Structure 1
Amino acid sequence: MLNIQKNLARDLLASTLADRFDITDSGLVFPRESVKVAGLYTPTVDGIVQSSRNLVTKEGLLHLLNVALGSTPKPAGYFVALFSGSTAPASNWAASNFASVAGEIVSSSEGYTLATRIPWTSTNASADTHIDNYASEVEVTFATSATVNVTGSALLTASAKGATTGVLVSATLYDAPYTFQNGNTFRVGYRLEMTV
């Protein structure tokens, strides 16, 4: 079984490096390997849970493969960033350009009050083919003199707001922006799934 996993990881890595994958509304599809990698952000506002499919970036996919079956060490953590830009995520987005291209919300006085990006703490996958933080979502509170718009979320390996280091795993642009006033709260979950 381990050899099959290593062979699949090797094949996925080769296909990723050669850009042999399709970006679809439901995730990244690797036709040669018959594999789909997809994720789902689930923001909660006023007790109402929405869902938004994401784009796993090329940088993110390489990171997942290299950490899972390669020699890249696992990062200290994963973190959800909120952004206010209107640009749809693209496969070439990376941690190095995310904050500027997405319009990451970095202010604690005109944004969410948490000093860092939102920690993403997952539970291990078992019989299912997904991993998520639904059991440990972190709620953030907004501080603003007017309003703050959140248009999307992303998962990164660096904790500092606005950081250009680390890896951008995935990002989503919500169907419609969320508008928050001072004292409003927001929670967001993230699930990553891989189906063969």
Structure 2
Amino acid sequence: MTEQGIYFPQQGILAQGEYFDRVNGGEWQATHNLVVNEGLAHLLNVAMGSKVKSAGYYLALFSGATAPAPNWTAANFASVAAEIVSMTEGYTSATRPQWTPADTNTNSIDNFAAVAKVTIATSSQLTVTGAAMLTNSVKGGTSGTLISASKYTAPRTFQDGDEYEIGYRLSFTAA
């Protein structure tokens, strides 16, 4: 584990990801993430093993103060991260928004052709401290796989009706 991502020295590969987000069409902000152990195993098993690809990948927002740890899983994510699940003090979607990537011919894959978008619902303010990617669309769901999570360097504060766009890029680099 390095500050830039996960480095596989024998293979000479660095795996890293970034979340990109913006409010109401403003400037994009980027935050590096942690691809957790469960996520790494999933990516390897789908790409090189015999595991079937998930039906989809979904983005979740959280409000907890805890930084992501390698041992986070889909089973404990909602509770340790304080996932935002309310449709009245959170975002109006009944499910986590889907991450829809475009196929790639490079060393990274992302969803910038179709970023995820949610509408914030709150009676005063909503504070979001981070984002995560999972294979389960259910808000607060504990099945599936947690791929990655990121605690923002500064919390995002929203007002009712704000539109929040979320992008994610995963890269493998020869190191």
What TM bracket, shorter-length normalisation? over 0.9
The count of aligned residue pairs is 173
In 2, the alpha carbon distance for the partners of 1:149 and 1:118 equals: 18
Deviations 1:39-66, CA, capped at 9 Å, x for gaps:
0100112311000000000100000010
Deviations 1:94-151, CA, capped at 9 Å, x for gaps:
000000000000000100001100100001121x100000100122111111111010
Determine if the alignment matches structure 1 residue 113 to structure 2 residue 92. yes
Deviation, 1:32, is 2.2
Counterpart of 1:96 (choices 63, 68, 75) is 75
Q: Percent identity?
A: 54
Determine if the alignment matches structure 1 residue 45 to structure 2 residue 23. yes
Determine if the alignment matches structure 1 residue 125 to structure 2 residue 104. yes
Q: Report the RMSD for the aligned CA atoms in angstroms.
A: 0.8
In 1, the alpha carbon distance for the partners of 2:12 and 2:69 equals: 22
Q: What stretches of structure 1 of length at least 5 have no aligned partner?
A: 1-22
Q: What stretches of structure 2 of length at least 5 have no aligned partner?
A: none
Deviations 1:156-185, CA, capped at 9 Å, x for gaps:
000000000000000000000001111111
Q: In structure 2, what is the equivalent of residue 3 of structure 1?
A: none
In 1, the alpha carbon distance for the partners of 2:116 and 2:71 equals: 28
The TM-score, its normalising length taken from structure 2, stands at 0.97
The TM-score, its normalising length taken from structure 1, stands at 0.87
Moved more, 37-46 or 50-59: 37-46
- Higher helix share goes to which structure? 1
Higher RCO (Cα < 8 Å, 6 or more apart): 2
Q: In structure 1, what is the equivalent of residue 2 of structure 2?
A: 24
